[in-house]
Chain A
Amino acid sequence: MNDYIRMEHITKRFPGVTASADVSIGFAKGEIHALLGENGAGKSTLMNMLYGLLKPDEGVITIDGAPVRISGPQDAIAHGIGMVHQHFMLIPKFTVMENVILGAKLEREPLLDTRSARQKILDLSQRTGLKVDPDARIHDLSVGDQQRVEIIKVLYKGVNVLIMDEPTAVLTPQETDELFAVLRNWIKDGNTVIFITHKMREVLEFCDRVSVLRDGHFIETAQVSDIDEERLARMMVGRDVELQLQKPPAKAGATVLEVDGLTVRADGGIPAVDNVSFTVRAGETVGIAGVDGNGQLELIEAIMGLTPAASGDIRFKGSSIAHSTPKEILEQGVSNIPFSRQTEGLVLNFSVRDNFILKERWHKPYAKHGFLQNKVIDSTVRKMIQDYSIKANGPETRAGNMSGGNQQKIVASREIERPHDLLIACHPTHGLDIGAIEFIHKRILQERADGKAVLLVSTEMDELLALSDRILVLFKGQIMGEAPATAKAVQQIGLMMLGKSAADAPA
C-alpha cells in the first residue's frame, strides 16, 4: 500500500518523559488504520502532532510525498486532516447546526446566514449515512447521536483524513457497528480513517491495518488479516498476556444483597432508578450493563446510603439498609470501588497510606483510643504495595502523583482487604491498560471464588462477559432484562442497552 500521509522520525519530549521516540508511520488512502497501544504509549500525542495541537521536537510530516508544516488545527484542516476528540467538543445548549458551523467560514460572514450551511449538512448527512437533525439541541441527543454530530462537524470542513480518538468508548455494540459501517462507506472514496484505540477486538473486526505503539516507540505496522489477538497483545504489552481468564462455575450461596422495587429520584424529581429489583448471592457476580447515565450512579449511591430511596427496600444479609447511614452500611460489610477513583475513591492530595486507612481509621489495629497507630499502618500499607504491585516509592507517595492504574490498585486493595461480604465494583478498569486490567480482573474473580457477593457495574462488554455470571441491563433507570454472560448474548444485551425489553430482543 502506498502511504498518503507519512510521519517520519517523529520525536516529542515532555519534561521527564519521551512521549514519541523516533516514530515513523504511514497511512494510506482508502483504509481504516488502527493505532493501538496502552495508555501512555503515545497514540494521542502522535495524533495531536498530526492535528497540529502539539509540535514535534524532531521529524517531518509528508502528505503525498511533500513535506508540510502543521502548526495548528487550522493548518491540519487546510491539509484535509480532521480529528474527533475522545471528549466531545460540543456545546450542549447549541443546535447541531450551530455546533457544526462554529468557526467555519460562512458565505455572508459575519452575518449568521445558515441557509447554505443547513443544505450542506443535510447533503453530508445523506451522503455518509450519518443521520442528524440540524435543529436538534445537543443536550437532547443520545451519546451516539452526539458522536455523529462530531463527525459531521469535522467532515463539514472538507477533510479526507479523519482521526478518531477512542470513539467507541461510549457506544453500545450496535452503535459501534453502525459507526464502522459509515466509516467503511466513507473510505471507499479514497478517504482515510485513523482510529486510536486500546481495544483489540475492534481492531480485528473493523480495521484494515494496525500500527502498535508501546512506551512512545513504534513497534510494527501489520495487515489485520495477518494477525491474531495473542500477537497483538504481545506487541502492545511486550509480554504474553492471559486474555481469557479462568472463570470456574459459580458456587452461589445465600442471598447477600436484595434490592426490592427500588426507586430513586434525581434532582428534577424524575426517577433515575425506576422500580428496580434484583438479588446478588454469595459467590456469584452480577453484572449491570448499560450506557453511562442510565441510573447506574444513582443505584449504587442508594445502596451505599449516599442517596435516599424514594420507595422500595434494600436488604443486606436479610436486614434493611435503606435508611442506614453510609458508615453503618460500610460497617456491615459492603465494599465499593466507586465510579471515579479520582473524585470518589481517593483523596488525591493524601498519601497512599492515608488513602488506605480512610475507611478503617477508627478501627483496631489502625487506631487505639482515638490515636492512629502509624507503625502498624505503615507495615500494612507496605505489604499492600507489594501484594498489589503498586508502583509507589512508599506509603508517603501522594496518590495524585500516581498513574491511573496504580491509583485504581490502591482503591481496589483498600476495598478488598477490609472486612466485607459484598464488593461493588463500578467501572473498575476504566481507562486502565491491559496489564492493570488483567490484575484487577483476577482480583475480582478471586473475590467470587472466596465466596463474596460481587456487583459489577460496567459499560465494557468484554469486562462484563469475563467476570459476571449473569448480566442485568439498565436503561433509563429500569432493568430491561437479564442475560447470561456468554458471547451469544451480546447482541441481545446491546439491544436492551438501547431500550428494547428482553421480550423484544430475543437471544
Chain B
Amino acid sequence: MNDQWTDRLSNYLDGELNVAERAELEEHLSSCAECSAVLEQLRQVVARAQSLENRAPDSDLWSGVAERIGAAAAVADLDEHRQRKQERLGQRRYSISLPQLVAASVALMVLSGGSAWVVSKAGGAAGEGAMPTATNGTALVSEAPADLATSYDAAVVQLELILKESRSQLDTATVRIIEENLSIIDRAIAQAQRALAMDPASIYLQEHLAATKRQKLEFLRQAALMAGAVS
C-alpha cells in the first residue's frame, strides 16, 4: 500500500475516476489487501456520515431570534390587537397622507399591469412551454389549500374585518381609496389565479401570485395601522 493508490480511493468511492484510472485501481485492489481494507474503512466513514440525524439545540433559541428580529414587540397576535383596537376606538379620526396613497396606487397599478401581462402570456405562450415550470413539486402557492383554513387567508380575513370595524376612524375619501386599491389587488390575485389554473406548474406564476398576496397582506396591515386598529 502506498499513497499513490490510497490517494485515489476516495475518488474511486465517489465515482470520480475515469475508466482507465478505475480499471488500474481495481487491478491493484485485487492484489493488495491493505488498500482493500482502507477502501472498506472509507466506505464505513461515508456510511456513518450519511446516517447522522439532525438534533435540535438543547436550549430554546427562539426567544433570542425573536428579540433580534423585533418579533417580541411585533404585531403577532391579531386577536390581541383587535382588543387593543377596541380600546382606542372613538379617540380620533385618521387620514392616509397623499404621498402614501400615491405610493400605494402606483404599486398597485404596476401589480395589476404585471398580472395582465401574466394572463396574456399564460393564455398564449404558456401552453407552448415558454413559461418556466416546476420540476420537483416545490410550488410556492399551489401547495396551499384554497379554503380559508390557510393561515394566509385567515390573516387576510381577520385584517379585513379589523379594517371594516375601524373604518369609522378614517375619513370617507381615505376609505374610498383603500377600497378601490383593495379591489385592484383582488382583481390582480384573481387574474394570477386564473393564469395559474391554466399552467399550474409555472414557477413564475406561483411566484407572482405569492407576491400579489403578500402585497395584499401588507396593504391591509398598513391600512389597519393607519386606522389605529393595530399598532
B partners with A: no
Partner-A contacts on B (CB < 8 A): none
